[in-house]
Chain A
Amino acid sequence: AQSVAQPEDQVNVAEGNPLTVKCTYSVSGNPYLFWYVQYPNRGLQFLLKYITGDNLVKGSYGFEAEFNKSQTSFHLKKPSALVSDSALYFCAVRDEDTGGFKTIFGAGTRLFVKA
């Protein structure tokens, strides 16, 4: 069965510093991996995805993520954090089981960027 783990409930980083939000996954087939962000009082927004190809994928708002097959990880990164990046981040994996495709979300990591 597929699963997604976000080991940190919260990540604190100072503005201008690099940030990393961790995600590990388990799937039975090829991993289709996603990051979403949820700002306060706003809906979930798609950030980036890995389907196939380059292990480093770039997404919206300067975010990128590195797919590591051997470590089954898909960590979200940004070289220089902004206060406006403060939000709830979800890693998700899309996999096919006996019932068909479904998307499983991690528990979420709250990012606080301090000015």
Chain B
Amino acid sequence: KAGVTQTPRYLIKTRGQQVTLSCSPISGHRSVSWYQQTPGQGLQFLFEYFSETQRNKGNFPGRFSGRQFSNSRSEMNVSTLELGDSALYLCASSPSVIGEQYFGPGTRLTVT
């Protein structure tokens, strides 16, 4: 099976802009989670979707949002970008609610 794919792999944006990141889970996986990884804060949970429903959300401002489509593909959006949003954004899919997660390569976002 193909792994989790994320597009784009790299992005450079300026403050105030918005960005949309995309994630395609492993075929058959209905659970998709998003994480932000930075050297200072480590891996921080953003949100999790299951069958198009947001099941949980981390402690991030409302500028961070996401959605999941009927084919389980997911997108996350960050509006009004700030310098501190520069990070590696990881998407993971899982075959079950309590199962292990399979991660994509990430999207590296740089905000200037």
Contact status A103-B106, CB under 8 Å:
no
Contact status A102-B58, CB under 8 Å:
yes
Interface size on A, residues (CB 8 A): 23
A-B contact count (CB 8 A): 53
| CB-CB contacts below 8 Å: A93-115 with B | 94, 97, 99-108
- 1/0 contact trace for B98-109 toward A, CB 8 Å? 111111111000
User: Interface of chain A, helix or strand or loop or mixed?
Assistant: strand
Contact status A43-B55, CB under 8 Å:
no
Contact status A101-B45, CB under 8 Å:
no
B56 to chain A, nearest CB (A): 4
| CB-CB contacts below 8 Å: B74-106 with A | 90, 92, 97-106
A106 to B103, CA, bound (A): 16
A90 to B44, CA, bound (A): 12
- Judge whether A45 is part of the interface by a CB distance below 8 angstroms: yes
Kindly report which residue of chain B lies nearest to residue A105, judged by CB atoms: B43
A100 to B56, CA, bound (A): 5
Residue numbers of B with Cβ under 8 A of A are 33, 35, 42-43, 45, 48, 55-58, 90, 92, 97-106
Residue numbers of A with Cβ under 8 A of B are 32, 34, 36, 42-46, 49, 51, 90, 94, 97, 99-108
